[in-house]
Structure 1
């Protein structure tokens, strides 16, 4: 495979990397610290367990920083900011930076609500390995426009591509824009993942759990572009299998956990729908 830090990628190589990373995740069981949306906390923990990771919902000041130094990866999700959680997030991000623990920022509803918008700007300056959000959230974090309708995007994924590439250039990491086709970029290369299902949009916390999955894959020490892509592919392939068994949002949510648990590298190789563009940053 070409260098993941600067070289060109191919769709086949990225699919193979995603399959290999899932196998590695199962073997390593990375410890993922989640400072996350209280609405999605339980589902997020179950998704991580189904993937083979070890979740830890440590979001209390005085504990969050110390835990970030021993975790494999950290998720910071701004979905339900309350109490002392913002302080714990700052503490965890600072400690993660010192310990070089990869962390993921999920800027839920940023751009449409002022408190979390200001906090996102503060945290993104600490250079997350991955920023994951919908198109409107990514545009808002990049400073290229306003937010969407609460947690719902007001623009399409491709419309957010220039902002995503620019934001990746600022953070030195990767930006993942979730939608019908996920777009993941390191500022130059763009990977599009066509896997997934509409039912994901009808389960509370499904997007939040994807951010946690990205933190789990990033915790394996691979380049964030490949880590975020592996999470997107694994989640999307499992969602398709779950949709084939579920009859609605409730049964789908349960089937998704089962599908993630049953997922293996061969299923990713057979089912991944990946398109790669190697090129210059779009401004």
Structure 2
């Protein structure tokens, strides 16, 4: 994972069209974050067009934050299109442990073999069938507690699993990395986790899933560090974060990324 900035450079050189079926709370933030990063976001979730649009998208992200039956069906149909075309899609199982409806929807999506599953420790543990201590959309478990579950889930799906938290853990079931970049204010800004899923989708469009996911997490965390160093609270941080995402250079990312093999 040397020269991580090359993944940012490649993503920006051919900005991917990323379809995001994400939640109401996050849509505007996700779109702004992805534009700042250099990708082209599209918020297309209606069942009548989600699968058709997936046919022209470079990647798909699925976030179950404000799930309903029609959205769940649209997610599955769009994911099937991506699979058939050999294009990547990313699953964000928000608060999967909270209700039976969410667990059932995520089980169907996991069966469709996501390219990447990205969630907090409690979400990943719940998806893997382990006991989880999350509350709402917040993790109640440490990243370290989810590492074994993440490895097993990656082997089950044949994809990449990213457990995000204070130190991120990313694995394809065989190889694994830890990403130390990030800032304590990031969880205090609405939808930054959801937006990270969109950025992961942009980085894995046309790039290796494991390396692209690691690069996306390092890029995101480093932008957070830089924003946190010059702001005093979550409001000013949100604005500075967009600026740092936009202003990050490939060289700056390579120099500032803190990634190590796990």
Matched, 1:105 2:94: no
**Unpaired segments ≥5 residues, structure 2:** none
Name the TM-score, length of structure 1 as normaliser.
0.91
Query: Could you say which residue in structure 1 is the equivalent of 2:115?
Result: 129
Match of 1:166 in 2: 152
- The alignment partner of 1:275 has SS state of strand
Report the counterpart of residue 69 of structure 1 in structure 2. Answer: 55
Aligned length: 262
Once residues 20 and 41 of structure 2 are traced to their aligned partners in structure 1, the CA distance between those partners, rounded to angstroms, is 7
Q: 2:8 is matched with which residue? A: 22
Q: Does 1:57 align with 2:46?
A: no
Alpha-carbon RMSD across the aligned residues, in angstroms, is: 1.0
Inter-partner Cα distance in structure 2 for 1:100 and 1:177: 24
Pick from 75, 85, 102 the counterpart of residue 89 of structure 1. 75
Which residue of structure 1 lines up, in the alignment, with residue 227 of structure 2?
Answer: 242
Name structure 1 gaps, 5 residues minimum. Answer: 1-13, 278-283
In 2, the alpha carbon distance for the partners of 1:202 and 1:126 equals 32
Partner in structure 2 of residue 275 of structure 1: 260
TM-score (norm 2): 0.98
CA contact (8 A) 1:157 1:178 kept: yes
- How far apart, CA to CA, are the structure 2 residues paired with 1:147 and 1:103? 27
Deviation at 1:223, TM superposition (A): 1.5
Determine if contact 2:133/2:141 at 8 Å carries over to the other structure: no
Shift of 1:188: 1.4
* Alpha-carbon offset, residue 146 of structure 1: 3.5
Indicate the SS of the match to 2:126.
Answer: helix
Give the drift of 1:83.
5.8
Deviating runs (4+, > 4 A) in structure 1?
none
- SS at 2:32 equivalent: helix
Specify whether residues 69 and 147 from structure 1 end up closer, same or farther in structure 2 by C-alpha distance, changes over 3 A only.
farther
Query: How far, CA to CA, are the matches of 1:25 and 1:95 in structure 2?
Result: 22
1:175 to 158, 161, 183: 161
